[in-house]
Amino acid sequence: MVKVLVAGGAGYIGSTVASACLDAGITPVILDSLVRGRREFTEGRVFYEGDIADGALVDRVFAEHPDISAVVHCAALIVVPESVADPIGYYEANVAKSLAFVSHLHRNGCDRIIFSSSASVYRAEDGSPVDEDSPLAPQSPYARTKAVCEEMFADIAAAGPRVLSLRYFNPVGSDPQLRTGLQLKRPSHAVGVLIQAHSECRPFPVTGTHYPTRDGSGIRDYVHVWDLAAAHLAAIERFDSILAGPKRSIAINLGTGTGTTVRELCTAFNNVVSTPLATIDAEPRPGDVAGGYTKSERAAELLDWAPKLSLEDAIRSALEWIPVRDALLKD
């Protein structure tokens, strides 16, 4: 039985990856401090509560599970405004603790790390696509922690564990079996705001309508979280072939490859709900940009991966998850 350590495995992405592992016959071993993750998402799974920087705990995990073959590192703080208010806390949690974690992994002979990175490392301001060789220009302390970690891991990989960095674009939706999903009751991403506006019977503001995109509204790349989980399975399976020979680290974008404008997102939402959501055009908010989306050639070539689920599938699963979440998460 293959085992994979999922750091941050009680969070949104990590718990969904753990579910996909179980479905594929892989045993996920979850390590999570529960600072942001939820204990409810660890029920029935091998779980260690604690910090990734706790060397004694990491040593115990490997002593009790010496057959762990790879690590999926999802443990991080991810709220952009919070990172602006508390950059020290973000560099501590995301960079310093990641450095300690990889040191503990190296000491325990773990040579395969799959790192949860972010498309926020790109500038992506003009609505055009980006590939892995596009210039990096992270715009927040959170995004810079991801870029710093990628560079740090690349340096370490030259003499230590190999690292595959997966740059997520905009994860949406939930596990199709509704085992896991977003934990926040008022998420700040666009789909969450759409759902909130719909539930409160108020129009959704399309902020910015004169961008250089297909219809003038901003563009993002929304990818179903279950497709992201499938990409992790492919990364686990293909790790050694991707990082063979002298190549010790690489980044791969994970997105749809087409992008979705805000107007297209609203149309997709209305294709799912029974009562249409009204929209209203509004001026751009401070700091708003046209956005961007990914080119997906590297994911197709190296992971043999492409998204299979639609944006409508993601919105539908996000809506179906809400009553399950409210029953599961009591506070």
Using alpha carbons, list the distances in angstroms from residue 252 to 7, 111, 166, 231, 269.
19, 19, 5, 10, 28
Asked if 122 and 133 touch (Cβ cutoff 8 Å), the reply is: no
Rg (C-alpha) for the chain, rounded Å, is 19
Which parts of the chain fold into alpha helices (H)?
A: 12-23, 55-64, 80-85, 87-90, 97-107, 141-157, 190-199, 225-242, 262-272, 297-298, 311-328
Provide the token pair at 223. Answer: 């990818």
Q: How far is CA 89 from its chain centroid?
A: 20
Count CA atoms closer than 13 A to 329's CA, side-chain side.
Answer: 22
Asked if 311 and 227 touch (Cβ cutoff 8 Å), the reply is: no
- Rounded CA gap, 163 and 301, in Å? 18
> What SS3 state is found at 311?
helix
Asked if 101 and 92 touch (Cβ cutoff 8 Å), the reply is: no
Asked if 188 and 197 touch (Cβ cutoff 8 Å), the reply is: no
Using alpha carbons, list the distances in angstroms from residue 268 to 216, 273, 283, 285.
17, 9, 22, 23
> What SS3 state is found at 9?
coil
**Given the residues 12, 122, 142, 211, the one annotated as active site:** 142
Provide the token pair at 254. Answer: 């994970």
Q: 222 an active-site residue?
A: no
User: Which residues are marked as active site?
Assistant: 142
